[in-house]
Amino acid sequence: MRKRFSFRRRLLSFALVTGMIGAAFTPAQAQATTATCRELNIPVTVGLLLPGTVFGKLCVPPRPTHTVQLLIPGATYNGTYWDPPTTPGVHSYRKSQNAAGYATLTVDRLGSGRSSVPPGVTLTALIQAEVMHQVISKLRNGAFGPRFDKVIIVGHSLGSAISVLEAATFGKVDGVLLTGIAHRINPLPVAALFTTFYPAALDPVLSRKYLDPVYLTTRPGTRNADFFLPGKASPEAIALDEATKDVFAATEAPDGLGVSVFTPYTLLIGVPVLLAISRDPLLCDPLLAIDCTSAETVRAAEAPYYSPAARLRTYLLPGEFGHSFNYAPNANEFFSAAAAWADEFVGR
């Protein structure tokens, strides 16, 4: 009887200890991919004199990291593009990179979102790049708490043009991830896109904030055709994109396109570059733009615009989707590829 009692007692003790270990480890596992985030209003100088603030959200994963990704949205987008609310059919790039072990700072470009809105004529893509350079310096100096040794600048569309200007002009980043941009564009779809822009002052929602006629947005109901087709985004993704649309200053386009796209300014980038696109009608045409048959054909078209130091890599999202492919149903495939590239060429 004693032996039986001893065995039962040991069994009960083992069960209790096992339960305690499980209780101790379960919360830690649940938190393994949960980043700590806080909102920032970052003071910057616009041009030579004007004070401004850039709104951002800094998210740091639980495990220590020395690398932060600075996420810059494109024209008519704000930080929601990189960090959308939980929505059916929509994936979060920001959360994916935090889960991969990288810190992120998602920003609204000046003039958009919750950043300050200077007179539109004061904004150019180069001014935006210089402002991002100020933000990068603050990330490196520990102005927001953590001090980061490495910065990867990440852009979409106009945000990519700004990223090119920052990286090529100031040379203070460790990696460049460009999406939705190439050195040749498809003129007819691009012209059609521009016909859907109109002054934000006329928009039923954005007119409450933007009275400056230089700020433009998209006409209601046009974003699926502008940015998603020929792909099939979820209805929730389309609704989210329409509900969170934003603006850009028309004065950001001349140097954004004229320097970053239409010249080989990218040759001045001296750090690793990943160029990621979809089968985007704005960029893809084997005669008028670039051949998007494969990642290899994209690289063949783009490699002459980058130096050997860029060690250019290209990524083509599988399937059919348009310009804003963070909202593609399979966007998480790109997110995984982005983290793998960062691991290989920059590191945490």
Domain at 201, CATH number: 3.40.50.1820
Inform me whether the pLDDT recorded for 244 exceeds 90: yes
Report DSSP letters for 54-99, one per residue. Answer: EEEEEEE-SS--SEEEEEE--TT--GGGTSPPS-TT---HHHHHHH
> The tokens 């007692």 sit on which residue?
9
* Residue 6 lies inside a defined structural domain of this protein: no
Q: How far, in Å, CA of 9 to CA of 29, rounded?
A: 30
Tell which residue, 62, 58, 93, 100, has the closest CA to residue 77: 93
Q: How far, in Å, CA of 19 to CA of 16, rounded?
A: 5
Inform me whether the pLDDT recorded for 236 exceeds 60: yes
Of the listed ranges 7-16, 25-34, 60-69, the one predicted with least confidence: 7-16
Q: How far, in Å, CA of 181 to CA of 104, rounded?
A: 21
Q: How far, in Å, CA of 216 to CA of 115, rounded?
A: 16
* Residue 4 lies inside a defined structural domain of this protein: no
* Chain segment 24-45, per-residue pLDDT in tens: 322 333 334 589 999 999 999 9
pLDDT for 25 equals 28
pLDDT for 48 equals 74
- φ and ψ of 164, to 5 deg: -60, -45
Inform me whether the pLDDT recorded for 18 exceeds 60: no
* Chain segment 66-108, per-residue pLDDT in tens: 999 999 999 999 999 999 999 999 999 999 999 999 999 999 9
* Residue 192 lies inside a defined structural domain of this protein: yes
* Chain segment 132-148, per-residue pLDDT in tens: 999 999 999 999 999 99
pLDDT for 49 equals 79
Task: Say if strands 150-156 and 103-107 run parallel, antiparallel, or are unpaired.
Answer: unpaired
* Residue 27 lies inside a defined structural domain of this protein: no
Q: Residues of the chain with pLDDT > 90: what percent?
A: 87
Q: What is the mean pLDDT of the segment spanning 177-194?
A: 96
Band (pLDDT 50/70/90 cuts) for residue 19 is: very low
pLDDT for 208 equals 84
43: cis peptide before it, omega within 30°?
A: no
Task: Specify the pTM.
Answer: 0.90
56, β-bridge pairs: 40, 107
Length in residues, the chain: 348
Inform me whether the pLDDT recorded for 252 exceeds 80: yes
pLDDT for 247 equals 97
pLDDT for 209 equals 86
Total domains in the chain come to 1
* Residue 19 lies inside a defined structural domain of this protein: no
* Chain segment 282-332, per-residue pLDDT in tens: 999 999 999 999 999 999 999 999 999 999 999 999 999 999 999 999 999
Mean pLDDT of the residues in the chain: 91
pLDDT for 47 equals 79
pLDDT for 33 equals 55
* Residue 24 lies inside a defined structural domain of this protein: no
b/e string for 237-270 if b means 16 or more Cβ within 10 A? bbebbeebbbbbbbbbbebbbebbbeeebbebbe
Of the listed ranges 27-36, 197-206, 226-235, 263-272, the one predicted with least confidence: 27-36
* Residue 311 lies inside a defined structural domain of this protein: yes
* Chain segment 339-348, per-residue pLDDT in tens: 999 999 999 9
* Residue 23 lies inside a defined structural domain of this protein: no
Structural domain range at position 304: 36-345
